[in-house]
Chains A and B, each alone.
Chain A
Amino acid sequence: AQTVTQSQPEMSVQEAETVTLSCTYDTSESDYYLFWYKQPPSRQMILVIRQEAYKQQNATENRFSVNFQKAAKSFSLKISDSQLGDAAMYFCAYRDPQGGSEKLVFGKGMKLTVNP
């Protein structure tokens, strides 16, 4: 079964600084999709960024970028120029399209605090 591991339960960063959130996953598949979701105190899950495994180029969305290392099964999220509004729980997720499965497999999450 696929698993997603976020080994750091909490991190903090100073406003305007850069922080990297780590995520590793376990799979025997070669084609799959990876996601980072943000869950602010409102509890709404918001998609931050996504990556296709067969694309070697790392995805970027404004201040958010990923470092995707397929061989190492690592998918870290970098937040540049951190803002107070970035404070939230961050969840890494995996989806394996084989066999028609559409379920997202989530890690346990990491709480990010942004200090002014």
Chain B
Amino acid sequence: NAGVMQNPRHLVRRRGQEARLRCSPMKGHSHVYWYRQLPEEGLKFMVYLQKENIIDESGMPKERFSAEFPKEGPSILRIQQVVRGDSAAYFCASSPTTGGLYEQYFGPGTRLTVT
């Protein structure tokens, strides 16, 4: 069973451009989570999605950021009009279920650099 896949691994964008980060959960996993890691910091929760539904977006910035997890295909984290402060590592995690002592399996991350 392949792990959580994220692409691209590295993404460079100029200020004002759009960034699209993709996450393919592990096979059989229908729950996806996005986290952001700033330099020298721990991971910060952004959003939790199930297929076609946003369940918890309490960690998402109010503007420029959006996420989706369509019925078919990967989950997408979209950042419009990127600014230098968006430079960070973005991690996706997935799980087959929720409730109890379940594990969130993490992908290798996408490192976004805004120039």
Contact = CB atoms under 8 A, between A and B. Distances in A.
Given A43-B109, A45-B91, A91 B101 contact: no
Interface string A78-112: 00000000000001000001001111111111000
A66 to B, nearest CB: 13
Interface residues of A, number: 23
Contact of A44 (B43, B104, B108): B108
B101 A52 contact: yes
A107 B58 contact: no
B1 interface: no
A112 to B, nearest CB: 15
Interface in A63-78: none
- Among A44, A46, A52, A103, chain B packs the most CB atoms within 10 A around the CB of A103
Interface residues of B, number: 30
Contact of B42 (A43, A47, A91): A91
- Among A33, A45, A107, chain B packs the most CB atoms within 10 A around the CB of A45
A108 B103 contact: no
Given A102-B31, A105-B45, A107-B42, A97 B56 contact: no
A115 B95 CA distance: 35
B99 to A, nearest CB: 7
Interface of A: 4, 33, 37, 42-47, 50, 52, 91, 97, 100-109
Given A102-B56, A106-B42, 6 more contacts: A44-B109, A46-B106, A102-B95, A102-B98, A104-B33, A108-B42
